C-alpha cells in the first residue's frame, strides 16, 4: 500500500509511504495533513470493528490540531495492540489510540461559533475586513464532514450579520437551487469569499474573553519512565497562581467529551496566560507553550534546575524560572507572575 491511496479518515487522495522502522504507513493528505497508521489497526477497521464515520471525523480533527502544533499522530487501534510502542521514542510523533475517540460526540451547538473564531484567527495578521478562503483542513479540524455542511453552519453567521460575503457569494446563496449552493461551497474553499463585520468582531471579543481570570498550566503528568508524577509540583504552581487571585486549569483535571487536543486548545484560548513547566522535557508542553505564544498570550517557562541543561535550545535564551525545591518554586513563580502579569483583582 504505497503511492496514492484514499485517506483513512476522509477518503480523499493521500500520498502513502511505508514506515521504515514500524509496521505501518505514513499518510499525507490535503485535509488531514500528516499521520502514521499502524497496519494491524487498518486491517481491524475493515472487519467487525469498523470505525464509524463520527470516529473517523474525530480522528481527522485530532490529526489536524496535532499537525498545527508540529506533531504527527501515530494511530493505533488500542493500547493493547501497541506492540513495540513501549520502546517508541520518535521526535514529534505521538501515539494516539482509536478507542479513545469512539465515544466523543460532535458538539453541533457550537459549530457556527467555531467558524466565527476560525475566521478571526485567519484575519489576525491581515486587515480586519479582508475576505479569506477556507481549507479542507479547516473543515475537518472543526469536525465538519463536507463543504455543503460547512455552508449550513455558516448561514446563521450571515443571518446574525457577523460575516459578509463577496458579491459572487451573495449571488450564489440568493439562488434556491442546490446546484448554486454547491458552487458556493466549492468557491469557499478555492477563493476568498467571507469576511467578518464589526458586529462579528464584537462577537469574537465576547467569545474569547469569557474566562480572563485563568492561568493554563502545561506540564508533564509522567516522568521519562512513564511513572505518574506526584502532586507536589502542580500544587506549588497552583498555590503561586491562586495566591495572586488567578484560577488555574490543567487539562487532566477537566471533565470533557472532546479529544485531548480539542480541550487543550479550548482551555488555552480562554486563559489569560500560560505556565509551561518544562521539567521532563515533554514535547506536548513545548507545543502548548508555542500555541499560546502564537495566540499572543504571555508564557512563563519554569524548570527544575537539574533539568535545565536538557531544555530545548530555543528556550534556553529566555528568562526561565528555575527551582530546586517546591517552596522555592512557589515563591519564585509567584514573584514572576506578580511582576509580569500582576495580581488578579
Mean pLDDT, the chain, as a whole number? 86
Cα 185 from chain centroid?
25
| Mean predicted confidence (pLDDT) in 145-162 | 93
Note the maximum CA span of the chain.
68
Fold of 108-207: Arc Repressor Mutant, subunit A (1.10.10)
pLDDT at site 48: 47
Does residue 282 surpass a pLDDT of 70?
yes
Let me know the angle formed at the C-alpha of 337 by 332 and 341, rounded to the nearest 5 degrees: 160
Counting beta carbons within 10 angstroms of the beta carbon of residue 56, is it exposed (0 to 12), middle (13 to 18) or buried (19 or more)? buried
pLDDT, tens digit (0-9, with 9 covering 90-100), for 207-254: 776 557 999 999 998 887 778 888 999 999 999 999 999 999 998 887
Among 69-83, 94-108, 246-260, the range with the most confident prediction by mean pLDDT is 94-108
Q: Are 336 and 299 in contact (CB under 8 A)?
A: no
Does residue 23 surpass a pLDDT of 80?
yes
Domain ranges of the chain: 3-101, 108-207, 209-340
pLDDT at site 139: 96
> DSSP labels for 161-205?
TSEEE-HHHHHHHH--SHHHHHHHHHHHTTS--EEE-HHHHHHHH
Report helix, strand or coil for 321: strand
More confident residue, 81 or 263: 263
Joined together, the cell numbers standing for residue 260 give 485531548
Of 260, 266, 331, residue with least CA distance to 292: 266
Domain at 209-340: CATH code: 3.40.50.450
Task: State the residue for C-alpha cell 487501534.
Answer: 77
pLDDT, tens digit (0-9, with 9 covering 90-100), for 154-169: 999 998 999 998 877 7
Amino acid at each position: 500500500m504505497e503511492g496514492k491511496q484514499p485517506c483513512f479518515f476522509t477518503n480523499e487522495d493521500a500520498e502513502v509511504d511505508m514506515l521504515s522502522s514500524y509496521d505501518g504507513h505514513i499518510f499525507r493528505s490535503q485535509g488531514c495533513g500528516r499521520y502514521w497508521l499502524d497496519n494491524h489497526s487498518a486491517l481491524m477497521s475493515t472487519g467487525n470493528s469498523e470505525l464509524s464515520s463520527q470516529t473517523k471525523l474525530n480522528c481527522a480533527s485530532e490529526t489536524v490540531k496535532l499537525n498545527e502544533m508540529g506533531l504527527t499522530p501515530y494511530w493505533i487501534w488500542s493500547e493493547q495492540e501497541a506492540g513495540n510502542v513501549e520502546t517508541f521514542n520518535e521526535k514529534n510523533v505521538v501515539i494516539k489510540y482509536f478507542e479513545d475517540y469512539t465515544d466523543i460526540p460532535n458538539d453541533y451547538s457550537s459549530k457556527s461559533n467555531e467558524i466565527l473564531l476560525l475566521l478571526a484567527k485567519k484575519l489576525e495578521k491581515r486587515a480586519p475586513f479582508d475576505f479569506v478562503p477556507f481549507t479542507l483542513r479547516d473543515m475537518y479540524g472543526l469536525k465538519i464532514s463536507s463543504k455543503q455542511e460547512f455552508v449550513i453552519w455558516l448561514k446563521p453567521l450571515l443571518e446574525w450579520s457577523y460575516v459578509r460575503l463577496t458579491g459572487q457569494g451573495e449571488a450564489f446563496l440568493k439562488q434556491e437551487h442546490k446546484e448554486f449552493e454547491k458552487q458556493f461551497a466549492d468557491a469557499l474553499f478555492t477563493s476568498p469569499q467571507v469576511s467578518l463585520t464589526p458586529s462579528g468582531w464584537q462577537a469574537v471579543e465576547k467569545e474569547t474573553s469569557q474566562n480572563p481570570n485563568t492561568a493554563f498550566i502545561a506540564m508533564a503528568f509522567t516522568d521519562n519512565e512513564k511513572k505518574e508524577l506526584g502532586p507536589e509540583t502542580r500544587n506549588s504552581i497552583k498555590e503561586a497562581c491562586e495566591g495572586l487571585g488567578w484560577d488555574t486549569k490543567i487539562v487532566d483535571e477537566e471533565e470533557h467529551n472532546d479529544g485531548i487536543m480539542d480541550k487543550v486548545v479550548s482551555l488555552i484560548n480562554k486563559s489569560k496566560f500560560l505556565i509551561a513547566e518544562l521539567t521532563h522535557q515533554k514535547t506536548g508542553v513545548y507545543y502548548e507553550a508555542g500555541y499560546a505564544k502564537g495566540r499572543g498570550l504571555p508564557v512563563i517557562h519554569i524548570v527544575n534546575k537539574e533539568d535545565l541543561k536538557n531544555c530545548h535550545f530555543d528556550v534556553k535564551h529566555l528568562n526561565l524560572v528555575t527551582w530546586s525545591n517546591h517552596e522555592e518554586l512557589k515563591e519564585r513563580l509567584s514573584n514572576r507572575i506578580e511582576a509580569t502579569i500582576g495580581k488578579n483583582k
